[in-house]
Structures are given as C-alpha cells and as structure tokens.
C-alpha cells in the first residue's frame, strides 16, 4: 500500500502487526502525524524540514548502494523553495500599500488566514507575514515618497486653491482636512489632500485661521494660494475674514442649508415623521424585516431594507423616500399582516411623498455636479442654480403645499446667493 504524498509517508504499524490508518510516519525522520485524509500538514513538514534531503528513502536491491536524486520539491509537495528576498520585499510593500489605500487596520498582518493565502500564492509554505513595526515603516516611506512627489507638483504650480473643513468624529475628536487644487502647465487638474490632522484646540475663528495658515506654510504655498473654499458655518466665515486669502463658500453647502430649511417649514413634516416610524418598525426588529423580505420576494423585488434618514443630511431623506416608494406594496402587505400601533400613510400622503421625491431629485443632481473632483466645478455653479430655479417654478397642477415649498426654496436660495455675491 502506497502511503500519502507519493509514498513519502507510511502508515504506522501497531504492535500486533495491523495498520493504524489514523497515524502516518515520515520516512525521512520517522516523525508521526495524525492523518485524516488531508495532506496539507504533511507537505508543509516536507517543505520545511527536508528541503535538502537527497537520498532515496526506499532503496531497492538494484539501487541500495547508489545515491539518487530526490524528485523536485515542487513535485513532492506542491510548494517551491523559499521565495527570494526581493519577492518578499515586494509582498511587504504591497501589503503596506493595501493597508494605507483601503484604510485596513495594522493588525491584519497578524491574521493567520492572510498568511495562509500568501503561502499558497507564493508557493512558499514557510512564508511569514511582516510585523506591525515593519509595515508601519513602509507606510511612512510610502507617505514620504508621495509627499515629495506632491511637493514637486506644488512647486511648479503658479496658483493654488485650498478647500478645507473641520469636523468632529464619532469618538468626539476634532479633525481638520485640507485639500489643494491647481491646474498645471499642460492644463491638467490636480486635487490631493495636504493634511488630515487631529486638532486639540476649540473651533474658534482664530484657531481655525491659524490651522489653515500653518498648513499653507508647511507646504510652502502661502504666496500661491488664491482662494480657500469652506462651508458656510459661522466659525468658518469668521476665520476666513482673518486671512488674506479670498473666501469661496461651498455652494453645495448653501444648497443643503436651503433644502433643510424648506423641509423643516413645509407641508411634508408630518408625513416624513410617519415614514420614520415605519422605517423604525422594521429596523429595530429582525423578524419584521424578514417578513418584509418575504413580501418583496413574492412581488419579485430585490430584498433590501428600508432607509432611515439623518437630520443633517437632506439627501438621506430623499433616499428614505425613494426606498419607501419603491417598496410601497411590500410594506403595505407586511404591515397588513402584523399587529402594530403605526399610523399608516394615506393615499394622499403617498402622493405627497411622490411629489417630494420629484422636488428633491434635481437638487441631488446639482449637488453631485457641484461635488465633481475630475473637473473645475466653478463654471457650472450659475447654470446649475439657474436650473434649480426653473425646476421650482410653480405650475397649475401644484397643490398648495408644493407651491409653498417652491416659493420658500426660491426665496431662501436667492437670499443666500446674494449673501455670496456680497460676501
């Protein structure tokens, strides 16, 4: 009987002469291994311990006094010999680039599963992942190299525009992000982050202004900065007045403020409140969600959850409405079979949601247009705002609450535009 791994192992014999098929013995070193039909550990042992082995392990009378060359390691185990140092370095650099690019945690280099994958890919069963310290050094090297490239680009730029924002993370830490934008001599647009740094001072105007100045000085672009774009928060506006750079308020943020104000003071408030309760009914109950998925399947729709909006993001309200309208029949059918205390949406309210979706879709389109990163968006500001003004023209078919929303929208946006022009 030929043993596992092409006869490189044999089954252990018991004292009574019978064969123990749950244990195998390496013919090279007589080490015993538990055997459960898998040969992975046996191949690993051969590759790690007997790379240099070169004698025939089962000589025949005709070859007893001759030294034979053992089959290649690849033939014997399915693995090659150790990978070269240069290949190992490439893998380490690639790991560092992946971790930095996709924001993976450093502890990923301690994953046994990842190590196994790389052992299979490299055909080297002895390959070991680099430690955290090594990967951290490589990421720093990547950053230093990238920073040097960006410094060279900025050095050649004649004018640079900055955009920035302060925000507070979910862990209540303050951060500042600053991005540089410029066009090179070949008319190619460049946009890249200069910093995303943790700040320890309060977001007072003086501190914010100082933060922007320090970033510009660190990258040696102070004399090249033409404008700084920020949102329209009072602190930001006050900070920009302390600087010598021209301030460019974010038009997308202006639009968001207009929509938020109009939604809060319109005829949609009650309907939206009921939508949120319906969404919460499913979100907080896995069983309710499962019943909704069953109804979606019966209606040949995609199984997807409802969406809850966020008060500070009007587009999330649009997503909530669109998802609810798409699954209107499934939601109705599910709730009809359940006991609940929800106030169901009336036919008039479903129609109201449909009209609100129609009102908000152009706003979403304009917001995405203004947020483009591969083109200069300044030139599309006036046409985009003009487009919104035209979509908000009152028609004869508009009910009173839509007329009120459109009038409030045009008035608020016009006032904010005037403030931008005279700011």
**Within-domain flag for 65:** no
Q: What pLDDT, on the 0 to 100 scale, is given for residue 54?
A: 38
Indicate the helix (H) or strand (E) that contains 92.
helix 85-101
Q: Is 355 found in the same domain as 395?
A: yes
The closest of 265, 264, 266, 270 to 345, measured between CA atoms, is 270
**Within-domain flag for 71:** no
Indicate the helix (H) or strand (E) that contains 189.
strand 189-199
Q: What pLDDT, on the 0 to 100 scale, is given for residue 376?
A: 85
Q: Is 273 found in the same domain as 364?
A: yes
Extract the tokens encoding 103: 């924001």
Between β-strands 225-230 and 160-168, what pairing exists: parallel, antiparallel or unpaired? parallel
Q: What pLDDT, on the 0 to 100 scale, is given for residue 68?
A: 45
Q: What pLDDT, on the 0 to 100 scale, is given for residue 7?
A: 79
Residue with the two structure tokens 């006050």: 238
Extract the tokens encoding 107: 């502890």
Number of Cβ within a 10 Å radius of residue 212: 23
Q: Is 206 found in the same domain as 135?
A: no
* Cβ neighbours of residue 304 closer than 8 Å, sequence gap 6 or more: 296, 323, 327
**Within-domain flag for 216:** yes
Q: Is 413 found in the same domain as 272?
A: yes
Q: What pLDDT, on the 0 to 100 scale, is given for residue 177?
A: 94
Dist. CA 362–CA 354, nearest whole Å: 14
Boundaries of domain holding 197: 157-249
**Within-domain flag for 61:** no
Dist. CA 190–CA 339, nearest whole Å: 57
Q: Is 393 found in the same domain as 268?
A: yes
Residue with the two structure tokens 């092409």: 6
CATH of the domain at 239: 3.30.420.40
Q: What pLDDT, on the 0 to 100 scale, is given for residue 416?
A: 87
Q: Is 388 found in the same domain as 265?
A: yes
Q: Is 413 found in the same domain as 265?
A: yes
Dist. CA 221–CA 214, nearest whole Å: 10
**Within-domain flag for 150:** no
- Backbone angles phi and psi of 23, in degrees to 5: -135, 135
Taking only the tens of pLDDT, the chain with its 423 residues reads 667 777 788 888 888 888 888 888 888 888 888 877 777 777 777 777 775 443 344 444 544 444 444 444 444 445 556 888 899 999 999 999 999 999 999 999 999 999 999 999 888 888 999 999 999 999 999 999 999 999 999 999 999 999 999 888 888 888 999 999 999 999 999 999 999 999 888 778 999 999 999 999 999 999 999 999 998 888 899 999 999 999 988 898 899 899 988 888 778 889 999 999 999 999 999 999 999 999 999 999 999 999 999 877 888 999 999 999 999 999 999 999 998 888 889 999 999 999 999 999 999 999 999 888 788 888 899 999 999 999 999 999 999 999 999 999 999 999 988 877 665
- Backbone angles phi and psi of 26, in degrees to 5: -70, 125
Domain boundary among 221, 249, 277: 249
* Cβ neighbours of residue 325 closer than 8 Å, sequence gap 6 or more: 350, 353, 354, 357
Number of Cβ within a 10 Å radius of residue 413: 21
In order, the DSSP letters of 143-192 are HHHHHHHHHHHHHH-S-EEEEEEEEE-TTS-EEEEEEEEEE-TT--EEEE
Q: Is 262 found in the same domain as 407?
A: yes
Q: Is 222 found in the same domain as 101?
A: no
Dist. CA 181–CA 189, nearest whole Å: 7
Phi-psi region of 54 (alpha: psi -120 to 50; beta: other; left: phi over 0): alpha
Number of domains in the chain: 4
């Amino acid at each position: 009987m030929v043993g596992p791994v092409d006869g490189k192992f044999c089954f252990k014999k018991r004292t009574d002469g019978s064969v123990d098929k749950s244990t195998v013995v390496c013919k090279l070193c007589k080490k015993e291994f538990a055997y459960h039909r898998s040969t992975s550990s046996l191949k690993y042992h051969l590759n790690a311990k007997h790379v240099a082995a070169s004698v025939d392990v089962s000589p025949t009378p005709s070859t007893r006094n001759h030294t034979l060359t053992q089959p290649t390691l690849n033939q014997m185990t399915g693995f090659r010999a150790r990978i070269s140092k240069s290949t190992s370095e490439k893998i380490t650099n690639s790991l560092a680039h992946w971790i930095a690019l996709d924001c993976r945690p450093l502890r990923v280099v301690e994953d046994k599963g990842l190590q196994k994958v790389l052992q299979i890919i490299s055909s080297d069963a002895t390959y070991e992942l680099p430690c955290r310290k090594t990967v951290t050094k490589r990421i720093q090297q990547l950053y230093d190299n990238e920073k040097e490239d960006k410094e060279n680009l900025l050095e050649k730029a004649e004018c640079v525009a900055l955009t920035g924002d302060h925000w507070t993370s979910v862990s209540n830490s303050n951060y500042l992000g600053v991005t540089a934008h410029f066009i090179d001599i070949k008319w190619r647009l460049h946009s890249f982050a200069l910093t995303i740094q943790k700040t320890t001072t309060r977001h007072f105007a003086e501190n914010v202004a100082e933060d922007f100045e320090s970033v510009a000085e660190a990258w040696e672009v102070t004399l090249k900065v033409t404008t700084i774009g920020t949102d329209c928060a009072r602190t930001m506006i006050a900070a920009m007045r302390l600087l010598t750079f021209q301030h460019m308020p974010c038009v997308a943020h202006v639009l968001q403020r207009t929509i938020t104000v109009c939604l809060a003071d319109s005829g949609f408030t009650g309907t939206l409140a009921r939508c949120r309760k319906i969404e919460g009914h499913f979100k907080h109950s896995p069983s309710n969600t499962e019943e909704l998925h069953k109804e979606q399947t019966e209606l040949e729709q995609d199984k997807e959850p409802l969406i809850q909006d966020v008060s500070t993001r009007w587009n999330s309200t649009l997503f909530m409405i669109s998802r609810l309208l798409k699954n209107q029949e499934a939601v109705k059918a599910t709730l009809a079979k359940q006991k609940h205390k929800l106030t169901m949406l009336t036919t008039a309210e479903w129609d109201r949601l449909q009209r609100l979706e129609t009102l908000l879709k152009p706003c979403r389109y304009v917001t995405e247009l203004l947020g483009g990163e591969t083109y200069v968006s300044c030139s599309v500001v006036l046409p985009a705002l003009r487009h919104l003004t035209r979509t908000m023209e009152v028609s004869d078919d508009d009910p009173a609450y839509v007329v009120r929303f459109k009038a409030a929208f045009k008035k608020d946006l016009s006032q904010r535009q005037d403030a931008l022009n005279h700011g």
